[in-house]
Structure 1
Amino acid sequence: MKLNNQLIRGFCLALVGVSTLQTAFSQMQNNPGSNHGNKFEQLGSLLSDPNIFRTASGAPGSMYWQQKADYVIDVEVDEVNQLLKGSETITYTNNSPDPLSYLWLQLDENEHADNAESKRFDQSSLRERMSLESLKSIVPEQKGYGVNIRKLTDASGKAMDYVINYTMMRVDLPTPLKPGAKISLKIDWDYKITDRMVENGRGGYEHFAKDDNYLYTIAQWFPRMAVYSDFQGWQNKQFTGRGEFALVFGDYKVNITVPADHIVGATGECQNYAQVLNSTQLARWKQAQQTKEPVEIVTLEDANKAIQQKSSAKKTWVYEAKNVRDFAFVTSRRLIWDAMKVNDGVPGNQPMAMSYYGPEAYPLYRKYSTKVVAHTLKTYSKFSIPYPYPVAISVEAANGMEYPMICFNYGRADEDGTYTEAVKYGMIGVIIHEVGHNFFPMIVNSDERQWTWMDEGLNTFLQYLTEQEWDKDFPSRRGPAHKIVDYMKLPKDQLEPIMTNSENIVQFGPNAYAKPATALNILRETIMGRELFDYAFKEYAKRWEFKHPTPADFFRTMEDASAVDLDWFWRGWFFTTDPVEISLENVTQYRMSGGDPKITQQQRKEAFEKDLNSITRQRNMEENMAFLVDKDTSLLDFYNKWDRFAVKPSDEAAYQKFYDNLTDQEKDIFNGKTSFYELNFKNNGGLVMPLIIEWTFTDGSKEIDNVPAYIWRMDENEATKVFAKTKQVASVKLDPFRETADIEESNNSWPRTSQPSRFELYQQNGRSARGQSAESNPMKEAKKENNN
């Protein structure tokens, strides 16, 4: 019988698909169908194999290498035509052992191009009522956005061949770039600057119609080298707007030409403040380097004056940055700029903390921003590595995005200068988060596009620690275990493991930010303890600063530096979507009957009589029945007269001798003063976790027992544990401090307690800029009352 070739091929592919699924499943389940041997097995093939580049301990190997890319860039912001024009020279060093026949560069601004892939791959549908904006997304305007490569040559000026594929550009080399060799590329380019408030994206402008001025946040703006690494070769996954980027470390010199009345803040250190600042501003800059409080270098009055008197002249600001992976800048005439030196808390360094912000952010940013920057540098330096760079900048831009030494945040007051508590804490939180990104991934340089959690999750965890050191009542949104519960209890079809590519995540914030941050907090507070965790986490940061780590490097280092086997934790929290749902099924109390022969025999007598008793015997006796042995006494013998429960003197003497040799604790057990409580637990969610048990006694006192997660090793579904207590137990509660992210707390108590539920009715306000008050404003209301 002949089979169609296409049918045969399809059948073979089906077998391959089944085989692949079975392989993936077997990686997660070492002992399928069993109640043990799965969750506590080592990760094995789920991690990449160690090698000469990356060791089994999680440290860089003896032959570790990474590439280097240095940039000299001239760029101009054309405010009249909303155009960015630039030319650059890239010097690329091939430190790999491989000859390279081509190079890959990133052109992130092509995300906005008319034919951008990101504008075509999302699903869409029609509804009975559609907004104009919704329809525009289906029939987009042709706006001419995207990078225009005007010229690309080698160092001698000879044109080079290149191919642009969406946001990636391949430069073909006439001869392979040998290991250890360098090459220089010269590129001229330009692009139309996008309205960031309309087009979204990371860089662009915001227009302030009230004074007809622009705020430019210029990011991901120049052709940048992609990473070539030992673990994946070229990182050339397209930029679609979500997954951020892996980049190459190098040195930058950037000449930024802008209108003469603009203020520029950028990655690195300005080399020509004496030429671009007036004498008063220059004096304030020098003063800021000596003070412990922020000094306004460009004041609110300066900014308001510049807003009204627009200059047509130009100035060039010169910035240099060493050993950074990217470069971004802000420019506008409507900026206030303050700064102060961080004198302590950053070992071996005294960086400048600085903030740039518009008049509408002044009430918040003047009071908080620069001090938040300083606090973040100190706290992150304590928990990871000392901050190595000379400056750290926070820019208010109704945004939340990070680059080396500079980040864009939100936080604007209402027109009367008031603001809500939510805006205040939201602003502080986002500044901490974005400044914190200087550590992860700007220094510990993970691949954000592939493993978003490696920078967002680790950074959100440290953000939580930093928020909590700011104020004990800080309303942190992410980090505490109980705040991830609503996400983890979602249906499985709305969840993905943390180890998922960024573009494939449905609930991006909870998955890539909140869940890994929660997992790390649980590791620190519940699994490992602060001392072991903090040492191991710092070791990871030290090993991989200014390098390119992978998840395996993190997992291995945390175990290597702590001697804690965490494979079960990584497996459950990072590779599955299982939730924590452990129920306290039953509590049974036991007490020893005692060893005293008198007591023992009395108990035996009661048990004997109880065993004899029945409804028939009871009713026969109530009827005064004449039993045969009573009527015919010849039937009576020794056993009818024998007292089987009598205590012999020899038994009493033997017991007394035994009792006198007991310890006080043993006597309490024998006397029934110690009770034994058998607790039965059931793992309903699948994620194994320690058992934290709170005992409440009848005298009102409490006690905590901690049972390691290893209790589930022999049975991953059910567990039983016996505890001895000298006090009478009134109630038992599992996970009393809500530290394991248990998604169902109603079954955590014995006796069972009812769980209150509530709902809140709220009125939704109109849409406002990110970081601007949109809810009730008690400060505004109080101000009105005081004025009345």
Structure 2
Amino acid sequence: MKRFTIFCLALGCITGLYAQTKEIDPAYSKFEQLGTALPTPNNYRSASGAPGPQYWQQRADYDIKAELDDNNHRITGAETITYYNNSPDELGYLWLQLDQNLFDKESNTLKTQTGTLNNSVSFNAMSFVTRSQFDGGFKITAVKDKSGNNLTHIINKTMMRVNLPQPLRPGQKFIFSVEWNYNINDMQKIRGRSGYEYFPADDNCTYTIAQWFPRMAVYDDVWGWQHKQFLGQGEFALTFGNYKVALTVPDDHIVGATGNLMNEKQVLTSTQIQRLKEAETAKNPVVIVNQQEATEAEKKKSTGKKTWIFQAENVRDFAWCSSRRYIWDAKLCDVEGAKVWAMSYYPKEGNPLWGQYSTRAVEHTLKSYSKRTVAYPYPKAISVHWIGNGGGMEYPMICFNGGRPEADGTYSAQTKYGMIGVIIHEVGHNFFPMIVNSDERQWSWMDEGLNSFCQYLAEQEWERGYPSWNGEPYQIVSYMRSSKETLVPIMTNSEQVLQFGPNAYDKPATALNILRETVIGRELFDIAFKEYATRWAFKHPHPADFFRSMEDATGVDLDWFWRGWFYGIDPVEVSLEDVNYYKINSQNPDVEKPLAKADADSKPKTISQQRNAEQIKKTLVDDNPELNDFYNSYNPYQITPEDKAQFDSYYKNLTPEEKKLIESGLHFYTLKLKNNGGLISPVIVKMEFEDGTEKIETYPAEIWRLNSKEISKVIFTDKPVKQFTLDPYLQTADIDTENNYFPRKPEASRFQLFKQQSNRPKNPMQQAQKASGQQK
């Protein structure tokens, strides 16, 4: 760092140090309030971010009867919907979601899908490309009122409009029924968020069933009807209600579903009921249906039928699973003082991973999320194994999760932690958006981002050093470095998001972690986050409600943060351009003259000076002493009586405070910072002192409020600094850390020579078993 001439202490001098040398930057607008970017508060949604005094939302109750045709992979059903108009508006028609029409041959998803083919294409990939040959989508066979009269209806791709015989006024309800059927998709060929997986070895299937019945669209005070088409990426906006569901399946199937099982004596054996009783007090999960029993069922394949009846209150959806191949385990857990069932359903292909970890991960998630949001209100939470090592999908009280070991029972660390992570994530969706019921069709980040953030916290509580795939700021750096042509703001509609995973999951999760750790602080952030969840539990929040709630509960103006992280695509990239070093000139000759001499002596001789000393044997003055005068013998570092007298005169006029400052020996540094990325961020500075100690100083983001491009910051220390480092603990997602050091310090990188290898994750467990001869 540069060391400048020692400066004199004067009041005017200190003021000058803090003045910026450049005119005020017009980009200070980065700190303007969001203003019209957010909707105007009203009686439905207040300026504090809380629901307003006249907040309202609709309700829809369902009575559904459905049958699973295991031979033909088909579901046939009928539902009665009671729709309550709690809005102040008169409704002339209703809108329902027909999400299975994603698989209709005329689906807009198929028509708008883009991509290319390579010279080599797998059969599974080609099945996906040619999936329009699959006869998918709902077949609506009847829409009637409660008296059995036909209702006119129009199907528009994944939406259905039902015209009412007369307007539905505020405070009224309307009862109608829909009959339907559809063919279930093969998830290995066509993929999807639900479907069946076929196991050829025993000629059986597992079914994970969702988006399986016509569901009411949301009507609210922000959008009116939310009837954006479902193209596959933007998930669901749904209305709360009560459900009664009767599911008829092969009588050797085990069924898991949203809600309480109402007829367990008719569908469970006495042994299964007894095992459930044991699970109520067991420390570890109890196996209700074991692997041997499931294998026997696979072989026999009963042709009888059985109807399982479930009821659920105040949920926004209903999903279920069914198979004769399922192993089932359960544990009754204490969650914030309430008794909640944690359960898992999985085929033998999931073991040993699923038996060891799944239900424990369910229990852990419920406890971790409940303390940070709201106490889990439902009677159970289920984790269901679905196809291979795929991701997962979430519904109230039940979720479908990937993660499958090798056939020999071994697995990689990536498979293990990936499975636990996806279970935590999907069970966590019970809170966002199943309870805090955001509009996923419009804003994916409000459920995926908030949930990914809570997932990161829960994973770190699972195991020290858990390899979380997002949450830490440094993990978002590669995405933030991406070309701006491939980036869109977080505040982008779900169907138009580019790089969906980083944008909807990773970036908002990282942003919240930065808010918690660096901008607000853990204690205050946690209070505010819980406040938001409490305010909007079982309601329909929008982004402004989250933004305003967080500011209201923390007392921190965060508009600059929302503007940068959620409405923008700029990265954090702050450079420590220069450091200038100053010390106070005490004017005391006993102090300053020895320092000046030491400073002069420490300067290296130039190459010319070194060579002159060797080659110029004598100078002119050496040969002619008469040329010497006063200055040839003058010592500028000698302390004279005049120096002392001048200092004494100066010193006696100082106040005690000024004398103390002069004698303090403080070291002053001017740090010159440049914001190359554009995204505003707090400035975190680590100082490593010459005596081996260190100190961290954090300056709020408002340090940029008068100039968002370049600033200078004066700091002082009581001992000299040998190294300055910005963002030493990688708190801000700075995309270039090489310019964070002064003096500069190169960051070493390593490269590896390799031959082409498989992308399959390493499996040290399998290698160890091979080495010991224990492999199955």
TM-score, normalised to structure 1, is 0.88
Q: Which residue of 2 aligns with 1:381?
A: 370
1:410 maps to 2:402 = yes
Quote the residue 1:20 is aligned against: none
8 Å Cα contact 1:124-1:138 kept in structure 2:
no
Change (3 A) 1:619 1:510: farther
Q: Answer yes or no: is 1:237 the counterpart of 2:232.
A: no
Structure 2 residue matching 1:198: 3-state secondary structure: coil
Is residue 355 of structure 2 the alignment partner of residue 363 of structure 1? no
**Which residue of the other structure, out of 69, 79, 88, is the alignment partner of 2:70?**
79
Residues in 1 aligned to 2:127 and 2:286: alpha-carbon distance in whole angstroms: 46
Aligned to 1:523: 515
Checking the alignment, whether the CA contact within 8 Å between 1:352 and 1:391 is kept in structure 2 is yes
| Structure 1 residue 290 displacement after superposition | 2.0
Q: Secondary structure at the match of 2:441?
A: coil
User: For the structure 1 residues 136 and 75, does the alpha-carbon distance in structure 2 shift closer, same or farther, using more than 3 Å as the test?
Assistant: closer
Distance (whole Å) between structure 2 residues aligned to residue 568 and residue 231 of structure 1: 24
Alignment of 1:549 onto 2:541: yes
| Matches of 1:413 and 1:593, distance apart in 2 | 71
Q: Corresponding residue for 1:742?
A: 734
The CA distance in 2 between the partners of 1:368 and 1:133, in whole Å, is 30
Query: Is the counterpart of residue 704 in structure 1 residue 686 in structure 2?
Result: no
Measure how far apart 1:699 and its partner are.
2.1
Q: In structure 1, give the amino acid aligned to 2:76.
A: K
Aligned with residue 420 of structure 1, among 412, 428, 439:
412
Residue of structure 2 in register with 1:783 after alignment = 769
Q: 2:86 aligned with 1:91, yes or no?
A: no
2:159 pairs, out of 168, 173, 192, with 168
Counterpart-to-counterpart distance in 1, 2:593 and 2:540: 75
Distance 2:359 2:84 in 1: 37
Alpha-carbon distance in structure 1 between the residues aligned to 2:336 and 2:202: 44
CA gap 1:316/1:656 in 2 versus in 1, 3 angstroms: same
CA distance in 2: counterparts of 1:309 and 1:650, whole angstroms: 111
Residues of 2 paired with 1:281 and 1:128: CA distance?
A: 53
**Quick check: 1:253–1:321 contact (8 Å CA) kept in 2?**
yes
What's the % identity of the aligned pairs? 53
Deviations 1:466-518 (A, max 9, x none): 00011111000100000000000001001010001111122000000000000
Instruction: Summarize the Cα distance change of 1:70–1:314 in structure 2 as closer, same or farther, 3 Å threshold.
Output: same
Structure 2 residue 673 is the aligned partner of structure 1 residue 685: no
How far did residue 654 of structure 1 move?
A: 3.9
Please state if 1:675 is matched with 2:670: no
1:300 aligns with 2:291: yes
1:116–1:596 CA distance, 2 compared to 1 (3 A): same
- Structure 2 distance, partners of 1:62, 1:602, is 75
Cα RMSD after superposing both structures: 2.8
The residue identity in structure 1 corresponding to 2:366 is L
Distance 2:115 2:202 in 1: 38
> Alpha carbons of 1:254 and 1:759: their partners in 2 closer, same or farther (altered >3 Å)?
farther
In the alignment, residue 86 of structure 2 is paired with which amino acid? Answer: N
Q: Please say if residues 605 and 645 of structure 1, whose CA atoms lie closer than 8 Å, have aligned partners that are also in contact.
A: no
- In structure 2, what is the Cα distance between the partners aligned to 1:649 and 1:389? 84
Q: How does 1:187-586 map to 2 (within 5 A)?
A: 187-343=178-334, 346-398=335-387, 399-586=391-578
TM-aligned CA deviation for residue 286 of structure 1: 1.3
How many Å apart are 1:131 and its aligned residue? 5.6
Displacement, 1:241? 1.0
Task: Quote the offset at 1:728 in angstroms.
Answer: 2.2
CA separation of 1:646 and 1:146: change in aligned 2, threshold 3 A: same
Deviation at 1:588, TM superposition (A): 1.5
More deviation, 691-700/246-255: 691-700
Give the direction of change, closer, same or farther, for the CA distance of 1:600–1:738 in structure 2 (3 Å limit): closer
Q: Please say if residues 587 and 647 of structure 2, whose CA atoms lie closer than 8 Å, have aligned partners that are also in contact.
A: no
Alignment partner for residue 720 of structure 2, among 720, 728, 733? 728
Hey, what's the Cα distance between the residues in 2 that align with 1:33 and 1:232? 41
1:134-145 matches, within 5 Å, as: 141-145=132-136
| Distance (whole Å) between structure 1 residues aligned to residue 757 and residue 115 of structure 2 | 25
Following TM superposition, by how much is the alpha carbon of 1:787 offset from its aligned partner in structure 2, in angstroms?
2.5
How many Å separate the matches in 2 of 1:759 and 1:601?
52
Q: From the superposition, tell whether residues 665 and 255 of structure 1 become closer, same or farther in structure 2 (CA, over 3 Å).
A: farther
Relative to structure 1, the CA distance from residue 777 to residue 625 in structure 2 (aligned partners, 3 Å threshold; closer, same or farther) is same
- d(CA) in 2 for partners of 1:169, 1:754: 61
Structure 2 counterparts to residues 624-635 of structure 1, below 5 A? 624=624
Q: Is the 8 A contact 1:401 1:409 kept in 2?
A: yes
Of 596-605 and 245-254, the range deviating more from structure 2: 596-605
Check 1:52–1:620 CA distance in 2 against 1; reply closer, same or farther (3 A cut).
Answer: farther
What is the DSSP-based 3-state SS (H/G/I as helix, E as strand, rest coil) of the residue aligned with 1:153?
strand
Matched residue SS, 1:88: strand
Counterpart among 21, 38, 49 of residue 47 in structure 1: 38
Contact 2:74–2:183 (8 Å) recurs in 1: yes
Query: Against the structure 1 CA distance between its residues 137 and 601, is the aligned structure 2 distance closer, same or farther, given a 3 Å change threshold?
Result: closer
Alpha-carbon distance change, 624 to 605 in structure 1, aligned in 2, over 3 angstroms: farther
Against the structure 1 CA distance between its residues 133 and 588, is the aligned structure 2 distance closer, same or farther, given a 3 Å change threshold?
same
| Counterpart residue number, 1:24 | none
Quick one: distance in 2 between partners of 1:185 and 1:623?
A: 119
Task: For 1:112-123, list aligned pairs within 5 A.
Answer: 112-123=103-114
SS of equivalent residue, structure 1 residue 647: helix
Compute the displacement of 1:629 (Å): 10
Partners of 1:116 and 1:184 lie apart in 2 by 29
Distance 1:622 1:599, change over 3 A: farther
Structure 2 residue aligned with 1:666, among 657, 661, 670?
661
Matches of 1:376 and 1:629 in 2, distance apart?
88
**Displacement of 1:758 after TM fit?**
3.2
Offset of 1:666 from its aligned partner? 2.5
Sort the Cα spacing of 1:528 and 1:261 in 2 relative to 1 into closer, same or farther, 3 A. same
Q: Residues of 2 paired with 1:441 and 1:541: CA distance?
A: 10
- Indicate which of 762, 765, 773 corresponds to 2:758: 765
**Cα distance in 2, alignment partners of residues 762 and 491 from structure 1:** 29
Larger relative contact order (Cα-Cα within 8 Å, sequence gap ≥ 6): 2
1:619-653: CA deviations, max 9, x gaps? 885675978999xxxxxxxxxxxx99752665454
Residue 78 of structure 1 aligns with an amino acid whose one-letter code is D
**Which residues of structure 2 form unaligned runs of 5+?**
1-22, 604-608, 610-617, 631-637
Q: Tell me how far 1:668 sits from its aligned partner.
A: 3.9
Aligned positions, number: 730
SS in structure 1 of the partner of residue 181 of structure 2: strand
Alignment partners' CA distance in 2, 1:762 and 1:534: 48
Change (3 A) 1:139 1:78: closer
SS for the counterpart of 2:698 is: strand
CA shift digits 1:730-782 (9 cap, x unpaired): 2111100001000001101111111222345475538xxxxxxx322111121
**Other structure's SS at 1:351 match:** strand
Give distance in 1, aligned partners of 2:399 and 2:593: 80
Superposition deviation, residue 142 in structure 1: 2.6
| Greater displacement, 41-50 / 284-293 | 284-293
1:56 aligns with 2:67: no
